[in-house]
Chains A and B, each alone.
Chain A
């Protein structure tokens, strides 16, 4: 293959992205491997250990992992010309990784639920007692960023998580599990990434998604080139394509908030300026990630 992509994007999305790229660059044979972030990272690291990483490009959920790889010298720096169209916060200044979209984390609820939440604080109210579920930072990169983000917000912070725990909230698994739990009515409220409930709702599932008024956290599904790549040119083309107008339109069509300015948001989302994205610093987040995971785990009594 001319290019090997490791990604944690959902299957259909990965296929669509690759298909669109191939259409734009005929003749390039792109192979992709899709798996959950833990699996992809285990696979990649084992390959690196064995001295023969197969992947050229990585497209995964969170910046933190890429920041760690950057610091370990496993990534290749590349200044993409398309970066100019991105918010500076959305890419690494040295060119090691570029965000491709925004995946925000908000609140979903089952339409049978009595209370319609509008803010994070609502989840700590007595009406939501025992009815809240959220992904665990141990299983989901987005969930870690989310926790780190909220922890830094005035008026929420780790105390908010302690209130949630006291209110009977559970934290487990990834976003898919939260979606199922709320859609099936096992729980009423869930903390979850935006596109999942929006898609399900479009298919008729009894769920709603809200962007809480305090603001949402976001992961950015960054892409990066591995230092060991033997196909640097193709890899660079791929990065450029992801950030290009066409590439970003594909992302929007798949139901994500595109990273590039000036592209319309997919249906079901409020206007871009109504979504308040709470800021987070990737290298800070990386530095503290172990500590934060532990704090979170201690609050929710998760071992490990």
Chain B
């Protein structure tokens, strides 16, 4: 390997050791530690014969089916938005794109609850229409389909951002050539646009799939009432009844999740293999199709989607933050802003949580960007035989439920780090490292797919100009993968801001995150406080996105995902 760095290979000598070190610390070490404990506890505690339990296999099946359907839903929703907003002459693109990002910000359990509320007997909407089902009517969302649907809503932004970055790299003349060849819009889409932006689409789909595999909030609320268990909810119930065999069981279940996500990754590799996506020559302009008479219809569909996936849950959230107690009908006489007063002025935890979450999310998003640009470059340019292994290792932590990853990090860091003797347990650093590990895949995917579409001669020209690796990175590579880099930063930020299950186990006094604060409030029955805090989080994110909007002119083209 050392030789290859001399070999006119464009990567510097330190890149390979760097990538290996990163992967070692963010993935191999925690996973290995978890496996070690699992094996040890299986040996002494006499692991129950987990694998012979048909319930486990049912859970594997349900995990696969919900995740697959959820991925399909996310691809349809996110892919549809990305295509329509990037390639067609839709009006109000910026607004639509902006709003489409927001549902990722609403915690999955909130989304789930608001959907249940919307479709249930107390739905104000349905009541107004006279369609409200009778008290106790079966809830259609308590099903595989319901789980998948909400997975789709939750993860659509992942697909949207990833595909959008791919579409922006599309050379305009390739589309024009196809149209002139006589291809209808549909054929152009099928034969040219989708194949060429396939890396972005597949990356988005894969990350959505992996995200569904590891999701806990949605199946916990929608699955358990219908006796549908996915591997993460199963793991949670193992933790609830903590026994001697728990670590062994959890390791085994985690290994199954890891296998599922590797299966997903292998499918992705298969799809992308043996093809060429390197854009030849210049891209820098995106083709725009005219929708003509269809434009109205498309706009109506887009706005109704926004209404369903954003406005309705958000309204439910705001409503419950204004209600004095759960189930009290909301009206001008009952509405109260007491919850906001409480959150803003009395709860000390609010400020801590905001500070922590914003710091953690920003640090993770930008810190990971540095790591993933280097890793992505290595994976695409390196032609290393280790590349598939490294991609798989990067992927697994994100697929594991947060609680498992957190346990792995506690196992690693509860005792002071050997040699240095430093203890990071209980500090914010352990959460940061765990975030790096968990969101590595989210950050990596869009960047890797952008590198796949990169015309190598652009980098060559920079090398010949005398630019060393660092220089090229800053001046050429990063600006050219800017849409993907922007997607990566924004996705990680949004997800980390909301994150609950990793930090739930890792926080301690003073290091609460927003997710933890909201969960704790909610879990202890202060639903209106939890809702109020969630609303404030959404408001904060909107404010930050607006700030980004102001900066947009100074940023490379395409970074801000709702700008075209």
Contacts and interface: CB of A to CB of B under 8 A. Distances in A.
Interface string B131-153: 00001111100000000000000
Contacts of A293: 241
B311 to A, nearest CB: 20
A119 B525 CA distance: 25
Interface string A199-223: 1100111110000000000000000
Contacts of B328: 203-206
A296 B147 CA distance: 24
B235 to A, nearest CB: 9
A301 B227 contact: yes
A112 B135 contact: yes
A246 interface: no
Contacts of A206: 327-328
B136 A176 contact: no
Interface string A58-81: 000000010010001000000000
A110 B325 CA distance: 13
Given A50-B410, A52-B415, A110 B505 contact: no
Contacts of B285: none
B322 interface: no
Contacts, number: 191
Interface stretch (A39-47, A84-92, A230-238, A276-284): A39-47
B220 interface: yes
Given A110-B135, A172-B225, A47 B240 contact: no
A131 interface: yes
A179 interface: yes
A31 B229 contact: no
A50 B239 contact: no
A71 B302 CA distance: 60
Interface string A112-148: 1100000000000000001101001011110010000
B326 A51 contact: no
Contact of B117 (A184, A200, A300): A184
Residue of A46, A54, A185 with most partner-chain B CB within 10 A: A46
Contact of B526 (A11, A72, A205, A207): A11
A139 B55 CA distance: 17
A170 B106 CA distance: 27
Contacts of A49: 37, 41, 247, 411
Given A37-B240, A49-B247, A302-B229, A11 B325 contact: no
A136 B227 CA distance: 11
Interface string B318-347: 000000111110000010000000000000
Residue of B137, B425, B505 with most partner-chain A CB within 10 A: B505
B135 A42 contact: no
A300 B527 CA distance: 28
A174 B247 CA distance: 23
Residue of A1, A39, A304 with most partner-chain B CB within 10 A: A304
Contacts of B406: 42-43
Contact of A300 (B227, B244, B520): B227
Contacts of A261: none
A10 B523 contact: yes
Given A184-B327, A206-B327, A131 B523 contact: no
A200 B505 contact: no
B224 A172 contact: yes
A33 interface: yes
A36 B521 CA distance: 11
A297 to B, nearest CB: 8
A180 interface: yes
Interface residues of A, number: 73
Contacts of A47: 410, 414
Contacts of A133: 225
A200 B220 CA distance: 23
B520 A34 contact: yes
B561 to A, nearest CB: 34
Contacts of A10: 523-526
Contacts of B504: 35, 39
Nearest to A182: B327
A50 B43 CA distance: 17
Nearest to A200: B325
Nearest to B136: A131
B24 interface: no
B522 interface: yes
A110 B135 CA distance: 10
A183 interface: yes
A245 B122 CA distance: 44
Contacts of B120: 184-186
A13 B524 contact: yes
A36 B505 CA distance: 10
B246 interface: yes
Given A176-B522, A303-B227, A139 B135 contact: no
A200 B138 contact: no
A204 B324 contact: yes
Interface in A286-302: 289-290, 293, 300-302
Contacts of B41: 49
A111 to B, nearest CB: 9
A45 B240 contact: no
B479 interface: no
B412 interface: yes
Contacts of A303: 55-56, 58-59, 227, 229, 234
15 contacts: A10-B524, A33-B507, A38-B403, A41-B239, A42-B403, A46-B414, A53-B414, A138-B237, A138-B240, A138-B241, A139-B224, A176-B525, A184-B117, A185-B327, A186-B122
Given A41-B242, A54-B426, A139-B236, 16 more contacts: A9-B524, A33-B509, A34-B520, A35-B504, A46-B411, A139-B237, A183-B326, A186-B120, A186-B136, A187-B135, A187-B136, A203-B324, A205-B327, A206-B327, A290-B243, A304-B229
